[in-house]
């Protein structure tokens, strides 16, 4: 280490100043030569050219000095904010370091050991493997193999698929999983959602689709005409389709708003692209396409153009795979208990398993996990209930009272099992409580 003496500091400062001035003069010379070469103007030949060149030089030096000053002040503010963050820890905390202490290693933790949490608690705390609130991807995504095969076939052939299912049945997870799979196959796929603004109009939709290849593209860059915008989409389909890796595939989640609001002419042009097998379309909605009408009461032009695929309950192997993710903490009858309360419904099974996992991890009784689960489930069931008509409500009430109800529509929606019973105790208990 160099000795900390005043003369050495002045020597270093002088050397730094000389080096800065030298590099500034050199850079200025290159800059003047560049300007003269590009513009053909020679400073020396201008009236008072030498004076003008000196003025430009001093302005350049002043600009450099201001820039250095600005960077110095910013660096000082960052340093002060970090120092303030360090000194804001409570004095009793193991993270507190007094200014006179030499290093964190010598800091004394004055918090009593009896109330200080163990330092390895975070590392030993198992992470909850269940997330019911976001689309699932493998390995969290399980089942639905037939639907995924159908989507892949549509992508290769240029066909349309209509995914229909109630809230929280897994439509978004299917789209996300297929998009990841299609990417590995080289199939050009665009996954967008009507909730993200892609349903506002035909320009928003097209910008969302083309934006995957043209990140600069904004809706205002597209023509207002529905036909002109559809021509842009058609050209994109032709360019992508010539690559030979399947048809361009558009996966539109929450497609209801798009079908209700979008320009009718654009929808007809989009249907034309589908009929010509220039692209593949997958719409995810809560109601069948034939039941969705635009502002003028007209049915969707895709109602008879897309193959319907219902998204209902899982199969038994898929449900068991979901339960198996938390097997490290399960006790003797936890698996049967999960199926009793949540059945084969992907969302409710994942929700209950996540609450039970946290209860087992934190040493809480299972009933507390059930209470939290039922509170959260009630919110979703209330939402579903408001969109059921009176006959379907009555059928569910009868099933909850133990009277089997054979109703194909409710079974396909995943609300009733094949033997006419509510899909799980979470539904039957909720129905009995609201009556």
Question: Which DSSP string do the residues of 67-116 spell out, in sequence order?
Answer: HHHHHHHHHHHHHHHHHHHHHTS-TTSTT---TT-S-GGG----S-TTTS
Give me the mean pLDDT over the 409-418 stretch. 93
Per-residue model confidence (pLDDT) at position 171: 96
CA distance 263 to 275: 19
Identify the top-confidence range among 54-58, 135-139, 235-239, 352-356: 352-356
pLDDT band at 99 (very low <50, low <70, confident <90, very high): very low
The answer to whether residue 121 is domain-embedded is no
Same domain, 340 and 291: no
Give me the mean pLDDT over the 174-191 stretch. 93
Per-residue model confidence (pLDDT) at position 273: 95
Give me the mean pLDDT over the 10-38 stretch. 66
CA distance 344 to 321: 11
Residue 40: Cβ-neighbour burial (10 angstroms; 0-12, 13-18, 19+): exposed
Per-residue model confidence (pLDDT) at position 370: 97
Same domain, 151 and 40: no
Same domain, 281 and 332: no
The answer to whether residue 211 is domain-embedded is yes
Tokens at residue 230, please? 């559809």
Select the more confidently predicted residue: 117 or 363: 363
Overall size of the chain counted in residues: 435
Same domain, 150 and 258: yes
Give me the mean pLDDT over the 24-33 stretch. 66
CA distance 143 to 430: 27
**Could you give the maximum distance between any two Cα atoms of the chain, in Å?**
104
Residues near 308 by beta carbon (within 8 Å), at least 6 away in sequence: 162, 164, 288, 289
Per-residue model confidence (pLDDT) at position 125: 84
Per-residue model confidence (pLDDT) at position 214: 46
CA distance 310 to 209: 25
- Is the pLDDT confidence value at 177 over 60? yes
pLDDT band at 111 (very low <50, low <70, confident <90, very high): very low
Domain end among 310, 340, 369: 310
CB 422, CB 428: distance < 8 Å: yes
Per-residue model confidence (pLDDT) at position 194: 87
Residues 310-346: pLDDT tens digits? Answer: 999 999 999 999 999 999 999 999 999 999 999 999 9
CA distance 402 to 293: 37
Same domain, 321 and 369: yes
Same domain, 233 and 302: yes
Domain end among 49, 77, 105: 77
Same domain, 186 and 291: yes
Mean pLDDT taken over the chain = 81
CA distance 310 to 74: 58
Same domain, 250 and 283: yes
Same domain, 268 and 342: no
Same domain, 196 and 324: no
Tokens at residue 110, please? 């004055």
The answer to whether residue 97 is domain-embedded is no
% of the chain beyond a pLDDT of 90: 55
Residue 118: Cβ-neighbour burial (10 angstroms; 0-12, 13-18, 19+): exposed
Tokens at residue 85, please? 């963050």
- Is the pLDDT confidence value at 117 over 60? no
CA distance 227 to 268: 10
pLDDT band at 114 (very low <50, low <70, confident <90, very high): very low
pLDDT band at 55 (very low <50, low <70, confident <90, very high): low
The answer to whether residue 298 is domain-embedded is yes
CB 220, CB 227: distance < 8 Å: no
- Is the pLDDT confidence value at 126 over 50? yes
Give me the mean pLDDT over the 195-212 stretch. 82
CA distance 12 to 18: 10
CA distance 146 to 151: 9
What is the torsional sign of CA 140, 145, 151, 156?
positive
pLDDT band at 52 (very low <50, low <70, confident <90, very high): low
The answer to whether residue 201 is domain-embedded is yes
Give Rg (Cα) of the chain: 33
The answer to whether residue 109 is domain-embedded is no
CA distance 68 to 206: 46
Q: What is the CATH number of the domain that holds 204?
A: 3.40.50.300
What is the torsional sign of CA 170, 175, 178, 183?
negative
CB 374, CB 426: distance < 8 Å: yes
Per-residue model confidence (pLDDT) at position 106: 36
Same domain, 152 and 261: yes
Our count of domains for the chain comes to 3
Residues near 258 by beta carbon (within 8 Å), at least 6 away in sequence: 194, 198, 199, 205, 252
Same domain, 222 and 283: yes
CB 347, CB 166: distance < 8 Å: no
| CB atoms near residue 325 (< 10 Å) | 17
Range of the domain at 16: 12-77
pLDDT band at 63 (very low <50, low <70, confident <90, very high): confident
Strands in 189-193's sheet, in edge-to-edge order, are 189-193, 249-253, 280-285, 160-164, 307-310
The answer to whether residue 132 is domain-embedded is no
Model's pTM, two decimal places?
0.70
Domain end among 310, 330, 355: 310
The answer to whether residue 98 is domain-embedded is no
């Amino acid at each position: 280490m160099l000795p900390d003496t005043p003369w050495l500091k002045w020597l270093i400062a002088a050397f730094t100043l000389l080096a800065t001035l030298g590099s500034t003069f050199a850079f200025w010379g290159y800059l003047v030569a560049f300007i003269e070469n590009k513009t053909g103007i020679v400073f020396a030949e201008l009236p008072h050219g030498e004076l003008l060149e000196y003025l430009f030089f001093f302005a350049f030096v002043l600009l450099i000095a201001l820039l250095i000053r600005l960077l110095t002040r910013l660096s000082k503010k960052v340093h002060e904010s970090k120092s303030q963050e360090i000194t804001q820890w409570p004095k009793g905390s193991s993270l507190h370091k007094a200014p006179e202490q030499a290093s964190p290693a010598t800091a004394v933790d004055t918090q009593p050991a009896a109330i200080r949490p163990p330092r390895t608690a975070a590392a030993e705390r198992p992470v909850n493997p269940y997330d019911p609130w976001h689309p699932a991807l493998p390995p969290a995504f399980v089942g639905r193999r037939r639907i995924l095969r159908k989507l892949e076939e549509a992508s290769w052939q240029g066909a349309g698929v209509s995914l229909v299912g109630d809230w929280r049945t897994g439509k978004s997870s299917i789209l996300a999983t297929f998009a990841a799979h299609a990417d590995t196959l080289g199939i050009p796929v665009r996954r967008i959602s009507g909730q993200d603004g892609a349903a506002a109009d035909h320009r928003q939709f097209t910008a969302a689709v083309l934006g995957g290849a043209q990140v600069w593209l904004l809706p205002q860059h597209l023509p207002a005409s529905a036909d002109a915008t559809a021509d842009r989409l058609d050209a994109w389909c032709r360019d992508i389709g010539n690559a030979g890796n399947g048809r361009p595939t558009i996966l539109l989640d929450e497609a209801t708003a798009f079908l209700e609001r979008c320009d009718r002419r654009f929808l007809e042009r989009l249907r034309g692209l589908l009929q010509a097998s220039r692209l593949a379309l997958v719409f995810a909605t809560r109601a069948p396409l034939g039941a969705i009408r635009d502002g003028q009461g007209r049915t969707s032009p895709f109602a008879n153009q897309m193959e319907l695929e219902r998204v209902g309950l899982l199969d038994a192997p898929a449900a068991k795979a979901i339960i198996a993710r938390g097997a490290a903490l399960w006790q003797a009858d936890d698996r049967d208990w999960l199926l009793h309360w949540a059945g084969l419904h992907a969302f409710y099974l994942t929700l209950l398993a996540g609450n039970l996992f946290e209860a087992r991890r934190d040493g809480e009784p299972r009933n507390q996990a059930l209470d939290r689960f039922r509170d959260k489930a009630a919110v979703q069931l209330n939402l579903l209930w408001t969109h059921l008509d009176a006959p379907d409500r009555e059928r569910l009430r009868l099933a909850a009272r133990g009277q089997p109800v054979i109703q194909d529509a409710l079974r396909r929606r995943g609300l009733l099992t094949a033997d006419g019973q509510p899909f799980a105790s979470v539904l039957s208990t909720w129905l009995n409580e609201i009556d």
